[in-house]
Structure 1
C-alpha cells in the first residue's frame, strides 16, 4: 500500500513539475516594436506574454484591457515606487492588438505606446511578433506610396478623406494604368486602419517584389460605420455609404489616378463590418465590381447571387478561432453552383489583424489575373 502511495505521490510530483515548466515565463522580454521612442514598456517575450509598467503613484487600481473594445484584462500590482506592473496571465495571439488602461475607473492610453484608431477612439497598440511576420516586414524592396486624398461628397455635404496606395513605379511610368481594390476597415476603425494596423502597403510591396501579384491601386476610405454602437450592427443602413463609394469616390479616383476604369478591373474587400459593407454593395451593384472578398465578414450564398452578373472571384476568409467551417462550407456551395470561389483560414488567430493581414496576403495574388 505504501509502495502504491509512493508511486501516486511521485506521479503528482512529475505532473506538477511539468505544469510548472510549461507555465514558466521566459524573462527574455523586449520593448514592443510599437512603443513610443525611447520607452521600454510595454514589453513582450518570445512566448507571446506582454508585461506592462505604469507610473501612477496616486492611483489605487490599474488594469490593462486588451482587444477591440477591451474587457477584463490584466490587473497590475502597485509597488513602493509608485509604479504598477503586471504580466498577462497567458501568451497572446501573434500580431497586433489594441489595448487601454483603466485607472481608478477612468480610461486612458498607455503613455509608453503608440496609438491607433480602433474601438471608435485612439487606442494603445502592441505587437506580438509572429512566426510568419516576414510577409509584412519593412524590407529593402521598391516601395509604393500611400497618400491622403480629399474628395467632395454632395450626398453628405462634406469633404471626405481616403488613403490611396499606388504601387512601386506608378510615378515613373506615366502611361501605365492599374486595376483598383477598394478595401474597407471594420467597426470602430477608420481609413487609417489598413495602412497602420494592417500594413497593406508593405504586404503589397513585398508581394510585388517577389513577383507574386500584379501591381494594383488600393483605396481605403471611412465606411461610415462608427455612428452605430457595438451590438447594433443590424441597424446599419448601407445606402449612404454606397452612394459615397460608388457615385462619388470611384469617379474621383478614376479621374485623378491612372486606373483601368471598368468593372473587370475593380475589386471590393473588407474586414469584419467592412465585409458586411462589401457583401451588401457588391450584391446591390454587381456591375461595378468583378472581385469580391469578405475577411471575417460573413459569406455569400448561391441563392443571393443568382441572376446577377457573375463575379470573377469570390474570396472568403476568417481565423481558425472564428467560424472556419462556415467559410469552407460556403465556398464549397459556391463552387458547386459554378462560381470561382476560394476560402482561406488563418491558423491560430481569431477576429484580429493577423487574420486580416494573412487574408490580404492570400487574396492579392488572386486579383486581376487576366
Structure 2
C-alpha cells in the first residue's frame, strides 16, 4: 500500500514539472513576440558607412576625412605636408563627415592630425602612426619613390628593444634594424651604425616617418649599401619641452657610452673597430653625434651631422664670459692628429632655409680649422624630414665601403 502511494506521488510531481516547463516556454514565446513587434522596442541602430582617410589619388592629391557630426570647426594640421602652412580648414559634407583635399603631395611620409574645436586628435580610421617625444601623430605614406617605397625584395627587421640603463637607473627603449637574413645566420658579423633623432622626436621616429628600414632595405638589395645593423636609441633622458630642463646632453652621452654601446656589442653580432662603426644624427642628434664622436675619435670611422652642429657656435662672441666654449672643451681631441687617422668620412648636410644653417656652417669651419676633412652639402628646404631621409639615403651609401669618392646628394661621386 505504501509503495502504491509513493509511485502515485512521484507521477503527480513529474506531471507538475512538465506543466511548469510548458508554461515557461509559452511565456518566452510571448516575450519574443513583444520584442519583435514594431511597437515594442527601439529598432537596431543604423550604422553609418565607413570613412576612407587618407585617400591618395593617382595624381598625388590626398583627401582627408573624419566623421565628427557635432563639431563646429575642423582643421587638418601637419608640420610635414608641403604648402599647407598652419593647416587647412575642412568642409562638412553629408552625414557629419568633414573633408579636405591637398596636394599633389610628393612621395614620402608625413605626420598629420585633426583639430576638432581646438582639440588635437589622430585620424581614427588610419592605423599608421609615428611617435614623437611626448605624443603620436597619424602617418600618411605617399608612394612613388624608388628608394624608400616598400619594394618586392627581401627585408630586414626592426625590433623594439628594452635595456637597463645603469647610468639612469631605469629601463629604456631603442629600435634596432637588422639586415635581411640576419636571423638565419649564426656566425656572420656586421658593422653597426648608430642613428640619432631630433629634439621633438623619439627612438620610433627614424623607422616611422624617417623610413629608415625601407631606405636601408632598398640600398642593400641594390648593392648600394653594405648590410649593417642600425641602432636608433632614445636621445631624451626625460620628457622634452622647449625652455624647460634643456636637452640633457651629458646624461644621454653617459647612457650611450656606458649602456647602449655595451648592450649592442653583447647582444648583436657586430664587428669591432672604427672601420665598422658609424654615428650620425639630425638636429639635436647631430649635436649629440659631435659630443660622442669627438671625444672618442678612435672609435668611429664615419660621422654624419644632419641639419645641425655645435649649438650656439654661430652666436659666440670674442671675450664673451659664458664659460669655456665647445671648441675649448674639446680642444685636445680636436687637435689630436693620430686620433683622426681612423676617420674615413665626416659628412654634413643642411637645408638652405634651415634655422640651423649658420650653426652648420660655423661648425664645419671650426672643424676645418682643426684639420678635419669635412664634406659639406647644402640643399633646398628647411628643418624637415624630407631632407633628413635624403641625407640618410646618401650617407648610408658611403658607410663601410672602400670608396675614395663619396656619393653626394645628387647620387654621384664627390670629386
Range class of TM-score, shorter chain:
0.7 to 0.9
Give the corresponding residue for 1:341. 374
1:111 to 2:124 alignment: yes
* Alignment deviations for residues 4-60 of structure 1 (CA, whole Å, 9 cap, x no partner): xxxxxxxxxxxxxxxxxxxxxxxxxxxxxxxxxx86222344565432222111111
CA contact (8 A) 2:55 2:64 kept: yes
Residues 363 and 232 of structure 1, relative CA distance in 2, 3 Å threshold: farther
Q: Please list the CA deviations of residues 259-314 of structure 1 after superposition, one character each: whole Å capped at 9, or x if unmatched.
A: 12333321111122221221222233334323211112236999666314323211
Distance in 2 separating the partners of 1:100 and 1:119: 16
Tell whether the 8 Å contact from 2:309 to 2:363 is kept in structure 1 after alignment.
no
Q: Following the alignment from structure 1 to structure 2, what is the Cα–Cα distance between the partners of residues 183 and 342?
A: 19
Shift >4 Å, 4+ stretches? 45-49, 68-71, 90-94, 299-305, 323-338
Deviations 1:104-143 (A, max 9, x none): 121211113222112621111223445xx11112222232
Write the distance in 2 (CA, Å) between the matches of 1:231 and 1:97: 26
- The verdict on how the C-alpha distance between 1:314 and 1:231 changes in structure 2, with shifts beyond 3 A counting, is farther
CA offsets per residue over residues 131-185 of structure 1, 9 Å max, x none? xx11112222232222232222111111222222122233344222221111112
Highest relative contact order (Cα 8 Å, sep 6+), 1 or 2?
1
Check whether the contact 1:146–1:163 (CA below 8 A) recurs between aligned residues.
yes
Greater shift, 284-293 or 238-247, is seen at: 284-293
Q: Which residue of 2 aligns with 1:318?
A: 350
SS at match of 1:151: strand
Decide whether aligned partners of structure 1 residues 325 and 73 sit closer, same or farther in structure 2, where only a CA change above 3 A counts: closer
What is the alpha-carbon distance in structure 2 between the residues aligned to residue 317 and residue 218 of structure 1?
Answer: 20
> Residues 140 and 127 of structure 1: is their aligned pair in 2 closer, same or farther, counting only changes over 3 Å?
closer
Whole-angstrom CA distance in 2 between matches of 1:324 and 1:236: 16
1:263 and 1:92 mapped to 2: Cα distance?
Answer: 40
Which is richer in strand?
1
1:59-98 to 2 correspondences below 5 Å: 59-67=71-79, 72-88=86-102, 91-92=104-105, 94-98=107-111
Q: 1:167·1:216 contact (CA, 8 Å) conserved in 2?
A: yes
SS in 1 for 2:183: coil
Cα-Cα RMSD:
3.1
The 3-state SS of whatever aligns with 1:258 is coil
Tell me the SS of whatever aligns to 2:297.
coil
- 2:130 matched to 1:102? no
Larger radius of gyration: 2
Aligned counterparts of 1:119 and 1:45: Cα–Cα separation in 2: 32
Distance 1:99 1:208, change over 3 A: same
The CA deviation at 1:248 is: 0.8
User: Which runs of 5 or more structure 2 residues have no equivalent in the other structure?
Assistant: 1-49, 314-325, 403-415
Which sections of structure 1, spanning at least 5 residues, go unmatched?
1-37
Paired residues for 1:236-255 under 5 Å: 236-255=247-266
**TM value normalised by structure 1:** 0.77
* Distance in 1 between residues matched to 2:205 and 2:171, nearest whole Å: 20
**1:58 maps onto 2:70 in alignment:** yes
1-structure distance, mates of 2:205, 2:270: 23
- Distance in structure 2 (CA, Å) of the matches to 1:341 and 1:251: 29
Which residue matches 2:286? 275
Q: How many residues align?
A: 328
